[in-house]
Every structure is written in structure tokens, then in C-alpha cells.
């Protein structure tokens, strides 16, 4: 069925599920972290090995978002929003600041809690594309370290604070624009747009508003065939995961994939960043976990982190899932593979 399993069913599964135990890895030894993998559907066993475990590869941050893997550099980039910095982590190295400031370049102190970059993406040329909260725009990092503004306005009005973004194979950039980067969010006097939009920035530079019906669009992902656009709404009154059928890159109908309210009522955090695998399964960061859904909305399993979890990204050989879990970056080896992978 399309709805989440009843909470009592999940709690029963949690009670009997095995904890994640440390095992040896042939690549690097990272400490296993507290966590639990809850298998709710037999199909989940094809996605994670029996001995799957969460590893901590970076820690000590403030609030992490937007991981993206750069295959050319063999590195993971991620945002620490309050720190106004993008970090780079490579296997065998400690994470280090890569870009600072990352989202707010003003000369006066930022009045809000989230000045820095949020979502990150790579374009077809491997250039880092940055959703900047404080400066309310999306930029591209050039080879000389400068930044080119890709979009900062819709019909002459400043964007709210771009949150998450993904490129289509055609080179169009889909992104969400809630007001969380504004000091007073929805009530900020500097807000110029009445809606929180989902947009498509076409390869030719044209900006299209695709969705304006969601209060707080957040995470965004494309199905492997790019016939479906997934968007989360972190609206406290009706948090949810949605699927939009795309025709010629534009949404034609909306489907409720799963209601997040049963989770947000008992856990910290809301539905957030997303990734799909090659079979179309959705790995969805959210309240203290990564939730794994089949394309029809069936909840296959839950990867518990125990903390508000913001986003996920495929990396390394395309079968490793990196998880931005509050102040840490976690790594999980899977037996599935990224929907789109071109190292």
C-alpha cells in the first residue's frame, strides 16, 4: 500500500531488529556508530547486505546538508550551514574546509541560523553548483575559485533561499526554494516571493516555476527514467514525500508517496533530502533515519541514525550511501547502485 506502515508495526519491528555490529572493511576501518537497520519488506534484503553497518567518516560539525560525490576528485563535498562552509572529505584524509564563506558573503553578521550553503550538485562538466542560503541564489564554482551566479531571481523578485538541486540528463537544473535561509523564514520582511517554489532552470537559462502548491518544498530527486520528480514538503502541518509525473520535464500530476506525520510526531526532524537507486527505490532522509521506499510508496526498510537526518548521496563506486546525519557524515555500503552514475 502507499501509506506508511502503522507506527505500532514499525515499533514491533524495531523491538526485534538486530543492532548494527562492527565488521572489518577492506578499504578503511571507521568506527561503527549507534544505529539500527529495520527490514520491513523482503525486497529490502536485495538493497543492503546482512552485515550492513553505519560508519562515521566525519564528525564535530554543527548541522550538515547537501552531500555530493565528485568522482573526478575522489571526494565528498558537504555543507555545514551554520558554519557557512563547504567541507571536502577524501578517503584516508580528514575533512577540511573547501569553500568559505559558502552561502553568505555579506559584510555584517548574518541575523539567522542558516547563513551557509545547503544543497550541492555537480554539472555535466564536474563543476560544483551551490545553493546559497544567505545570498539567496544558486552559483557555480569556477576553476579559478570565482563564482558565477546561475539564478537569483524569479520575474525580477529575489528567490527565498534555494535549498536542494539536481540536474537532469538534458542539463536542466531542478531546485527547491523554501524560506528557511531567511532570518525569520516565512515571516521575514525581506521575503519577495509569496510562494515557496519548485523550479526548473533550463539549460538555455530560462527559469520556470513548476510547483507553487507546497508550503515548504525541500529535498528533490529524479527517478532513473526521469519520468518522476520526487519532492519533500517539510510543512509542519502536513509533512510528506510527493511524486510528480513529468511530461516533457514538467509536472502533470501529484501523488502522495508517503505521509511523514507519523514519524515527525515521535521523532526529531522532517522529510528532507533524497536519492534514487537504479531500480527506482527512494532513499529519503528524514526524522532520525533514512527511509527506503519502493517506487509505489511501500516502505521497505528504515536505516535509523538516532538523530535528525538531512540528506544522502551516492559515492565511491556508486553503491556507497553517504548520509548527512546532524553533526556527522555516515557511510553505508549497499548492494544496490546509484540511479545515475558516470565516474
Residue 108 has pLDDT above 80, yes or no: yes
Closest to 64 measured CA to CA, from 327, 339, 342: 327
- DSSP codes joined into one string, 22-64: P---SS----B-S-EEEE-SGGGGGTS-TT--EEEEE---S-E
Q: Given pLDDT bands bounded at 50, 70 and 90, which one contains residue 324?
A: very high
Beta bridge partners of 147: 141
Alpha-carbon gap, residue 263 to 273, rounded angstroms: 16
In which residue are the cell numbers 564563506 written? 101
Q: Give the residue-averaged pLDDT of 289-311.
A: 97
Q: What's the pTM value of the predicted model, to 2 decimals? A: 0.90
Q: Give the residue-averaged pLDDT of 14-43.
A: 54
Give the list of residues 6+ apart from residue 280 with CB closer than 8 angstroms, or none: 223, 224, 225, 294, 295, 339
Alpha-carbon gap, residue 12 to 7, rounded angstroms: 9
pLDDT value, residue 340: 79
Residue 28 has pLDDT above 70, yes or no: no
Alpha-carbon gap, residue 54 to 44, rounded angstroms: 16
Residue 184 CB neighbours (<10 A): 12
The strand pair at 85-89 and 75-80 is best described as antiparallel
pLDDT value, residue 316: 97
Closest to 217 measured CA to CA, from 247, 267, 251, 175: 175
* 111-156: pLDDT as tens digits: 999 999 999 999 999 999 999 999 999 999 999 999 999 999 999 9
pLDDT value, residue 21: 27
Backbone CA torsion sign across 122, 333, 293, 227:
positive
Write down the CATH number for the domain with range 7-333.
2.120.10.30
* 170-186: pLDDT as tens digits: 999 999 999 999 999 99
Q: With DSSP H G I counted as helix, E B as strand and the rest as coil, what are the percentages for the chain, rounded to 5? A: 5, 45, 50
Q: Give the residue-averaged pLDDT of 1-5.
A: 35
Q: Given pLDDT bands bounded at 50, 70 and 90, which one contains residue 70?
A: very high
Alpha-carbon gap, residue 285 to 268, rounded angstroms: 12
C-alpha cell at 261: 506525520
pLDDT value, residue 167: 97
Q: Give the residue-averaged pLDDT of 82-98.
A: 97
Q: Given pLDDT bands bounded at 50, 70 and 90, which one contains residue 206?
A: very high
Q: Give the residue-averaged pLDDT of 309-316.
A: 98
Alpha-carbon gap, residue 166 to 100, rounded angstroms: 22
- Residue 20 DSSP label: P
Q: CB–CB of 35/304 below 8 Å? A: yes
Residue 89 CB neighbours (<10 A): 22
pLDDT value, residue 342: 59
pLDDT value, residue 12: 33
pLDDT value, residue 35: 79
C-alpha cell at 93: 584524509
Q: Is 122 exposed, middle or buried (0-12, 13-18, 19+ CB in 10 A)?
A: middle
Q: CB–CB of 154/162 below 8 Å? A: no
What percentage of the chain reaches a pLDDT higher than 90?
88
- DSSP codes joined into one string, 112-149: SS--SEEEEEE-TT--EEEEETTTTEEEEE-TTS-EEE
Integer CA distances (angstroms), 245 to 22, 226, 253, 278, in order: 41, 9, 6, 18
Q: Given pLDDT bands bounded at 50, 70 and 90, which one contains residue 282?
A: very high
Q: Given pLDDT bands bounded at 50, 70 and 90, which one contains residue 30?
A: low
Lowest mean pLDDT among 9-18, 166-175, 187-196: 9-18
C-alpha cell at 205: 537559462
Amino acid at each position: 500500500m502507499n501509506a506508511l506502515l502503522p507506527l505500532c508495526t514499525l515499533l514491533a519491528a524495531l523491538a526485534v531488529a538486530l543492532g548494527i555490529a562492527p565488521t572489518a572493511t577492506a578499504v578503511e576501518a571507521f568506527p561503527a556508530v549507534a544505529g539500527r537497520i529495520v527490514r520491513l519488506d523482503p525486497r529490502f534484503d536485495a538493497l543492503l547486505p546482512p552485515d550492513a553497518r553505519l560508519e562515521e567518516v566525519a564528525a564535530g560539525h554543527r548541522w550538515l546538508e547537501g552531500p555530493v560525490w565528485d568522482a573526478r576528485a575522489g571526494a565528498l563535498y558537504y555543507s555545514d550551514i551554520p558554519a557557512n562552509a563547504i567541507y571536502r572529505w577524501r578517503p584516508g584524509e580528514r575533512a577540511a574546509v573547501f569553500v568559505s564563506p559558502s552561502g553568505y558573503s555579506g559584510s555584517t553578521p548574518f541575523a539567522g541560523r542558516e547563513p551557509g550553503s545547503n544543497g550541492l550538485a555537480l554539472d555535466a562538466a564536474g563543476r560544483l553548483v551551490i545553493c546559497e542560503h544567505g545570498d539567496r541564489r544558486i552559483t557555480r564554482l569556477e576553476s579559478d575559485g570565482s563564482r558565477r551566479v546561475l539564478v537569483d531571481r524569479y520575474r525580477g523578485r529575489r528567490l527565498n533561499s534555494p535549498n536542494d538541486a539536481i540536474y537532469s540528463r538534458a542539463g536542466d537544473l531542478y531546485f527547491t526554494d523554501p524560506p528557511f535561509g531567511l532570518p525569520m523564514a516565512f515571516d521575514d520582511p525581506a521575503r519577495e516571493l509569496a510562494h515557496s517554489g519548485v523550479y526548473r532552470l533550463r539549460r538555455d537559462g530560462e527559469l520556470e516555476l513548476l510547483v507553487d502548491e507546497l508550503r515548504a518544498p525541500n529535498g528533490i530527486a529524479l527517478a532513473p527514467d526521469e519520468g518522476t520528480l520526487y519532492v519533500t514538503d517539510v510543512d509542519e502541518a502536513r509533512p510528506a514525500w510527493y511524486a510528480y509525473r513529468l511530461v516533457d520535464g514538467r509536472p502533470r500530476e501529484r501523488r502522495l508517496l508517503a505521509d511523514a506525520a507519523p514519524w515527525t510526531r515521535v521523532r526529531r526532524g522532517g522529510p528532507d533530502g533524497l536519492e534514487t537507486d537504479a531500480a527506482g527505490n527512494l532513499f529519503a532522509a528524514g526524522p532520525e533515519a533514512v527511509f527506503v521506499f519502493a517506487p509505489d510508496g511501500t516502505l521497505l526498510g528504515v536505516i535509523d541514525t538516532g538523530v535528525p537526518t538531512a540528506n544522502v548521496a551516492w559515492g565511491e563506486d556508486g553503491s556507497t550511501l553517504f548520509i548527512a546525519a546532524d553533526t556527522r557524515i555516515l557511510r553505508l555500503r549497499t548492494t544496490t547502485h546509484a540511479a545515475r552514475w558516470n565516474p
